[in-house]
Each structure stands twice: as C-alpha cells, then as structure tokens.
Amino acid sequence: MRIKILIVLSLFLLAFFAINACSVNWDDPESQTADEMFAGESGASAGWPAGEYPGPQASRAAQAGQENKAIIDLPVGGTLSSGATNPHQARSEETNQINTPQPVVANTTAPVQPTTSSDTTSVSGSWSLELNDSVSRTAALTLFQNGDAVYGTGSINLDANTTMIAAAFGTITGDRLNLDLVSLGKVNLYRISMTVNGDSATGSYTAFNPSSASTTGTANGVISAHSS
C-alpha cells in the first residue's frame, strides 16, 4: 500500500514540474525573470484568475501597501523616530543621542557663609577689680586681648597685709567677660564672670582654695585706661 502511495506522489510531482517546465520560454530564457518562470506563461497562480496574476514582486508590494517598495524596509514593532525613513537610520539617530555628551550644569548655589557673633567688646587696658564675699579683696590687672582671648598679669590683695602676684586668662563673648584670676605663691583661683558696660563691669565670682571650701561673691570692675 505504501509503495502505491509513493508511486502516486512521484507521478504527481513529475506532472507539476512538467507543467512548470512548459511555461518557461526555453527559446529565450533570459527574457524571463524567476518570478515569471514560476508564475507560468499565462501568469496564472493560486487564488488569481487567469491573466490577472500580477507576479510575486507586485504581489508583495501590494501586500505592503506601497508599490515598488521592498517589504524588508518596512518598520516592525512600532513607529520610527522623527525624521527616520528606515530602521537603520532610526537606530543611528538613537545611537547618536546616547553618545551625545550632556552639558554640565554648574552649581550656582551660593556658599553658606559662617555666622558671626555680635561685635566683641574691647577689654584691653588697666583694670581695678573688687571682689566681695565675707572678705573684701582688690586686684589691679593689665589685660590684653586677641579676638575673644583675654589674658594679663597684675596683683591681688588677699587681705590688708598680703599682696600676691596674679595671672589672668579668659574669654570675651559680646559684652560677657569670663576671667580666671590665679594668685601665685599662695595659690587661689577666682573664677569671675562680668558684663562689661562702657568702662565698668559687674557680675559675680567663685573663689577656690586648696585647703577650704569654695565661696561665692560679687565682682565689680573699672577700666582706667584702654590699650590698643
């Protein structure tokens, strides 16, 4: 049974090739294109009435919607970019856009300026201080100032019969003077905090002694001569 089927199929193929061979102009084969040879002498093809088959190339152009335009040039998967006429040009434009260097935007943000405190009061000069708690003490100091740093030397009267050399150091912030006064020889520390107003200053202090408890009192000062 299989042999019979194979024989029938072979005969069918031979008949098909014989028909196509007859349709070729063997006297002048170069006058026909491959499409005309396959279409046959009459131009008939499946699905087309005899004499109306336009040929494979025209058929493909008609399916594409544009005569004499190759189907391979048609865009696939969406529209092309603006100005592009084929996929190759569209890809070239996209590559150029990717490779085009973008301009660098300069940072125009203004730098943050550091905040400055209010004007610092000048405390350079000769000072007379009075420290009062249960005992009254006086001090004479010459102070110097660099920015907010204050330092100097002088003397302090611990009592009516005892005068000691003293050193002072501290800071001035605005009109607030914080000064540590240390007596040398018999060591005592007087931590003074005063508000300066013109040529005078008022505030308080705490006295520290190695052999006794600390004490507090009031502090007053007068500047007799300013130094530059």
- What confidence tens digit (pLDDT) does each residue in 71-104 have? 455 455 555 555 656 666 667 766 666 666 666 6
Mean pLDDT value across residues 54-72: 55
SS (H, E, C) 173-205: ECCEEEEEEEECCCCEEEEEEEEEECCEEEEEE
d(CA 58, CA 67): 7
Range in 51-55, 156-160, 168-172 with the lowest mean pLDDT: 51-55
Please state the domain count of the chain.
Answer: 2
Same domain assignment for residues 63 and 132: no
Q: Is 168 helix (H, G, I), strand (E, B) or coil?
A: strand
Res. 46 pLDDT band, cuts 50 70 90 = very low
**How far is CA 29 from its chain centroid?**
74
* Predicted local distance difference test score (pLDDT) of residue 44: 46
Mean pLDDT value across residues 160-167: 92
**94 part of a folded domain:** no
Per residue in 10-32, pLDDT tens? Answer: 777 777 766 665 555 556 666 66
Domain residues for 183?
125-226
DSSP for 74-93?
Answer: S--SSPPPTT-SSHHHHHHH
- Integer angstrom CA distances of residue 50 from 8, 39, 213: 28, 11, 130
Phi, psi (rounded to 5 degrees) for 15 = -65, -40
d(CA 12, CA 213): 130
pLDDT at 154 over 90: yes
**188 part of a folded domain:** yes
Same domain assignment for residues 149 and 221: yes
Share of the chain above pLDDT 90, in %: 39
Vertex 150 angle, CA 144 and 153, to 5°: 60
Res. 159 pLDDT band, cuts 50 70 90 = confident
Of the residues 58, 74, 90, which one is the last residue of a structural domain?
Answer: 74
Same domain assignment for residues 53 and 137: no
List CB contacts of 120: < 8 A, sequence separation 6 or more: 147, 148, 172, 173, 174
Of the residues 55, 74, 93, which one is the last residue of a structural domain?
Answer: 74
Same domain assignment for residues 135 and 215: yes
Residue in the structure block whose two tokens are 């009061």 = 121
Mean pLDDT value across residues 64-77: 51
**159 part of a folded domain:** yes
| pLDDT top residue among 40 and 129 | 129
Res. 174 pLDDT band, cuts 50 70 90 = very high
pLDDT at 189 over 50: yes
Residue 165 sits in a domain whose CATH number is 2.40.128.120
**35 part of a folded domain:** yes
Give the CA count within 13 Å in the CB-facing half-sphere of 123. Answer: 35
Of the residues 74, 106, 133, which one is the last residue of a structural domain?
Answer: 74
Same domain assignment for residues 129 and 222: yes
